[in-house]
Amino acid sequence: MSEHTRPSFVRGIFAGQIHAPLLFPFPPTLDERDPAEARVVRRLIATLHAMRADGLIDPAAFDETETIPEPVIKAFADAGLLGLTIPKQYGGLGLSATAYARVFGAVAAVDASLGVLIGVHCGLGSKAIVLFGNEDQKARYLPMLARGETLAAYALTEPDIGSDAQNIKTTATLNDQGDHWVLNGRKFWIGNGQRAGVIATFAQTIVMRKGEPVRRPTAFIIRPDMPGFSVVGTFRKMGIRGSTQAELSYENLQVPTDHVLGQVGKGFNVAVNVLNGGRLSLGAGCVAGTRRILGELATYAEHREQFGHPLAHYEITQRKLSSLASDLYAGEAMLGAISAAVDYADSDYSLEAACLKVFCSDLVWRSADEMVQVAGGRGFVKPYPYERYLRDARIHRIFEGANEILRLFIALNGVQGPAERLREVSKAIKAPLRNLGLVSGYMSSRMASMLGGTPDLGVPVHEALADHVRYFEKHVAELHTETERAITKYRRELPERQLVVERLANMAIDLYATAATIARTQRLIEQRGAEAVAHEIALADLFCVTAGRRFREHRLALSGREDEVDDTRRRIATAMRNASGYVVDDVVLTDTATPAHPPTARTTPEPARR
């Protein structure tokens, strides 16, 4: 199989196919694979921690002042932390995906705002040029970005277009001389947008497809000194306040033709590929952030005494600790597997990265929420950092693909393989999939995911994991059955049946996490012996059991009478839509009810800017 056809594990399980070699043996650690790169990673993380210890990095101050001061960015540049993803030949560190995930995670764990600044610069803006820039563009822009002379940004979102990125409204037309593109439009929430010197952006262009003119996004590199560019203002936010997001205006913005990134009309491909990588690093940030929060949660619960015992003594606290820790163990397993897969070959990892992003962004949010709860009143007030953790954690479920959209993306992609046999269904799925960011080049992987896998794992595992493997195999078969049932039952309506699609996605996410967890634990047992890793086996146990329960709940919903409950859900939602809110005839709180101000397109205020 060529490296481009390395299949997707997640696509495979929708078809009842387990591609065990993609996860077994679980990849060795970076230290084992590349000790020299691991040393670079340790050096970078040590530098970062020194900046924190010196007080240069001050998360509370970043939050209060809503900015990250220039000296911090300068120190990051000096340490090479702005060239993490830029190849060495252009002055960067050219880190592997695994190494970048580790460094990025460390940055995000120290301060989420810094994580966003670095993620946008290294993982989105610079990365767009690394992946799609031509030689001239790379030589011109990457060295300055690696040196940190300026920051990079990535400007896709617009006031009216967020998740539906394929349909951005910004336009680009070629001028009469044919030497400049003229861009018109607005971009919203653009990280680093107010200080970036290099911005990867997107606009609709007219291209010919099958002899007809059609609108297709094109990617461009723009600079703030190009005529027609302006920063309208920056936004005030709930969390990650140290990072800054700007509104950008393009008014007849003059962009030379040699600043097209990739091919004209192929900009969505650029956007999607960059965001796939972004989701991997976002997952890394959430994993590292959760790990940090769990350290603080365990410490706090040990030191705070009520009713004569530390909070950690009580079983409810222990449930919180153990559940979050076992989920973190699974999140780490997915991260390790995906980042190594990216390093080994040009894999189709878009679904796996989406699983990681959804799972870990939900996890960091729950961790921060439990941190606040365990800290009680201190969780809610300053100067304790816990309320900030909660505020900072919230955005991860929204940006780089809102979790609802990513669940649709995972399941509709997964369903696509098995749906090939029913032309009407595969056709009906194609349009929403294209909008969600399916890259047609993944066709080969889709086919590969249908072939070569087996219904069984086919890998010997330690007896401590044997039951989990049996359930995993059973559940993969059940996911396939439910996928087939959904295809046959809903046919071309399937993309509209989001509750069904969402359940399939949740099942697949838990199955992928379970497989990665088993693979990771098996490797640890092989390396150190079962006794030495009893704690890790316990984490794996707890995760596999709870993920299995969630799986069964979704399966029962799909195969049982949940359709009727879904009908009830739809009926209630319809009544609420008609009434613009909660409505019952028997109103208990008539007099005290606050009149609703439905946020319509007309009444929704523009977000606050500075």
Ligand X SMILES: Cc1cc2nc3c(=O)[nH]c(=O)nc-3n(C[C@H](O)[C@H](O)[C@H](O)COP(=O)(O)OP(=O)(O)OC[C@H]3O[C@@H](n4cnc5c(N)ncnc54)[C@H](O)[C@@H]3O)c2cc1C
**Positions marked active-site:** 400
Span from 40-48, 144-152, 402-410, 531-539 in contact with ligand X (CB under 6 A): 402-410
Amino acid letter, residue 539: L
Choosing from 22, 40, 84, 120, the residue that interacts with ligand X (CB under 6 A) is 120
Choosing from 174, 231, 232, 402, the residue that interacts with ligand X (CB under 6 A) is 402
Closer by beta carbon to ligand X, 221 or else 476: 221
Closer by beta carbon to ligand X, 128 or else 324: 128
Q: Is 399 in the site for ligand X (CB under 6 A)?
A: yes
Angle between the N-to-C axes of helices 562-579 and 498-528, in degrees from 0 to 180, rounded to the nearest 10:
120
Give the residues across from 271 on adjacent strands: none
Choosing from 5, 157, 194, 445, the residue that interacts with ligand X (CB under 6 A) is 157
Q: How far apart are CA 16 and CA 473, in angstroms?
A: 9
Choosing from 404, 456, 526, 562, the residue that interacts with ligand X (CB under 6 A) is 404
**In the block, which residue shows the tokens 């150190």?**
528
What is the size of the binding site for ligand X (CB under 6 A)? 20
Closer by beta carbon to ligand X, 247 or else 370: 247
- Supply 597's token pair: 């101000």
The burial class, CB within 10 Å (0-12 / 13-18 / 19+), for 135 is exposed
Smallest gap from Cβ 393 to ligand X, in A, equals 12
Q: Which of 171, 188, 159 is nearest to 255 (CA)?
A: 171
R_g over Cα of the chain:
25
Smallest gap from Cβ 119 to ligand X, in A, equals 9
Closer by beta carbon to ligand X, 269 or else 449: 269
Closer by beta carbon to ligand X, 157 or else 522: 157
Q: Burial letters for 93-113: b for 16+ Cβ neighbours within 10 Å, e otherwise? A: bbbbbbbbbbbbbbbbbbbbb
DSSP 108-156: HHH-HHHHHHHIIIIIIIHHHHHHH--HHHHHHHHHHHHHTSSEEEEE-
Between the CA atoms of 94, 38, 353 and 219, what dihedral angle is there, to the nearest 10 degrees?
A: -10
Contacts of 170 (CB under 8 A, 6+ apart): 158, 183, 184, 185, 186, 187, 201, 202, 203, 204, 250
Choosing from 10, 340, 405, 505, the residue that interacts with ligand X (CB under 6 A) is 405
Smallest gap from Cβ 245 to ligand X, in A, equals 5
Span from 91-99, 395-403, 476-484, 556-564 in contact with ligand X (CB under 6 A): 395-403
Smallest gap from Cβ 324 to ligand X, in A, equals 24
Q: Is 359 in the site for ligand X (CB under 6 A)?
A: no
Span from 396-404, 446-454, 545-553, 554-562 in contact with ligand X (CB under 6 A): 396-404
Q: Is 506 in the site for ligand X (CB under 6 A)?
A: no
Closer by beta carbon to ligand X, 148 or else 401: 401
Choosing from 231, 298, 398, 538, the residue that interacts with ligand X (CB under 6 A) is 398
Chain-centroid distance, C-alpha 440:
21
- Supply 130's token pair: 């690394």
Choosing from 354, 395, 433, 450, the residue that interacts with ligand X (CB under 6 A) is 395
Q: Which of residues 187-246 bind ligand X (CB under 6 A)?
A: 189-191, 237, 240, 245
Q: Is 154 in the site for ligand X (CB under 6 A)?
A: yes
Closer by beta carbon to ligand X, 190 or else 509: 190
Choosing from 162, 197, 224, 233, the residue that interacts with ligand X (CB under 6 A) is 162
Q: Which of residues 320-349 bind ligand X (CB under 6 A)?
A: none
Closer by beta carbon to ligand X, 4 or else 223: 223
Smallest gap from Cβ 181 to ligand X, in A, equals 19
Q: How far apart are CA 461 and CA 264, in angstroms?
A: 50
Cα→Cα distances 249→53, 155, 194, 590, Å: 39, 11, 11, 46
Smallest gap from Cβ 607 to ligand X, in A, equals 9
Smallest gap from Cβ 170 to ligand X, in A, equals 11
Q: Which of residues 462-501 bind ligand X (CB under 6 A)?
A: 498
Amino acid letter, residue 466: A
Residue closest to ligand X (Cβ):
162
Q: How far apart are CA 152 and CA 191, in angstroms?
A: 9
Contact indicator for 492, 424 with CB cutoff of 8 Å: yes
Phi, psi angles (nearest 5°) of residue 176: -60, -35
- Residues forming the site for ligand X (CB under 6 A): 120, 154-157, 162-163, 189-191, 237, 240, 245, 395, 398-399, 402, 404-405, 498
